[in-house]
Structure 1
């Protein structure tokens, strides 16, 4: 039976080698063979298991719960995300920037951006934003760490094959959300750049030939929809992402 290196498997399955190592070491999801020199080697059964893990994780299951599903156990996915949120909140309460960055990086390597944004980071930011003083300081600390991590991810994604795109905010004050949405788009194959300051009125004509995503944080107003239609009629490649 053919055996493959971790680099070969990562390329074939579209997964970072760091993630494969985490699935093995931290979660016990993989048991590759080893060469005499200690290098991992994977066979076709391992690759099939990796694809199954990817399907579970891609459907929104936290990676920490995948092993139980593979072994036929019944688990609540909602409860699993709740556990991850509480773990993140515990780290935030310690108010240690390095620990916050490390935790974000760890779960960012192990879970899809879409799932983390929708099930962990946005709910936590909303929860902290409802309170005063200390909670808002914690939210600001979290936002700084998120932007730091997403900027790192975007730099990595720009080194890969893909299409370039620019993200603009329009009529929103949530700068951190811009970075989160750019991260989400980067996972869809876009090499993203972000305009860090939201605009009162985007000007696509300043970026001829550029694919542009516009984030509003909500449904387009009637006036905004008219402007989107106008830009598209003029030939600009502009798409709206709202929620």
Structure 2
């Protein structure tokens, strides 16, 4: 077809898995054996929930995705939700391709808004004050996911944005 190749969704997903393994430092020679091993069965419907979120995101049904995330945050412990659903979902759409980057930015915006909602709710209750900050973060959403894992545990959490940590250096 004139030098153009067409890739299926499965091909793209496999390429994203390969990139994810390589980013994690796995030598390229070991990736094939990792791809060939059976996918682990996940308890508590984590995989189903992750796929439902991905489908809503890909269909552009942002309000539906937002509702699924808020409902899941009430139904499941937040640390497990972050570990078993949200981080794997973000990894699944981490390709350096414009379409995937756009989907990731949309998802990150929803996750940051949800985390902010949870943090505000925690501030209404008594608890210890905690400040979360990060240095040299490659992923600015990661600090928000980390804060989300700590919500609902009797802490009043504030996040120090990454940009405020950069010292001011006039030109």
Q: Shorter-chain TM-score: which interval? A: 0.5 to 0.7
Q: Provide the TM-score with structure 2 as the length reference.
A: 0.67
Determine whether 1:173 maps to 2:138.
yes
Larger Rg: 1
Q: Using the alignment, how far apart are the partners of 1:127 and 1:200 within structure 2?
A: 30
Q: Using the alignment, how far apart are the partners of 1:108 and 1:79 within structure 2?
A: 14
Please state how far the C-alpha of 1:156 moved relative to its aligned partner: 0.3
Give 3-state SS (helix, strand or coil) of 1:91's partner: helix
Please state how far the C-alpha of 1:131 moved relative to its aligned partner: 5.0
1:137 alignment partner in structure 2: 102
1:124 alignment partner in structure 2: 89
Residues 79/149 of structure 1: CA separation in 2 closer, same or farther (3 Å cut)? closer
Structure 2 runs not aligned, ≥5 long: 1-40
1:27 alignment partner in structure 2: none
CA deviation vs aligned residue, 1:144-203 (integer Å, no higher than 9, x gap): 0000111011000111121011111111132211111112122332110011225358xx
Q: Provide the TM-score with structure 1 as the length reference.
A: 0.48
Match runs of 1:196-211 below 5 Å = 196-197=161-162, 199=165
Structure 1 runs (4+) greater than 3 angstroms displaced: 76-79, 198-201
- State the Cα RMSD in Å: 1.8
2:26 alignment partner in structure 1: none
Give 3-state SS (helix, strand or coil) of 2:133's partner: strand
Question: Which structure: greater helix fraction?
Answer: 2
Question: Which structure: greater strand fraction?
Answer: 1
| Alignment check: 8 A CA contact 1:117 1:180 kept | yes
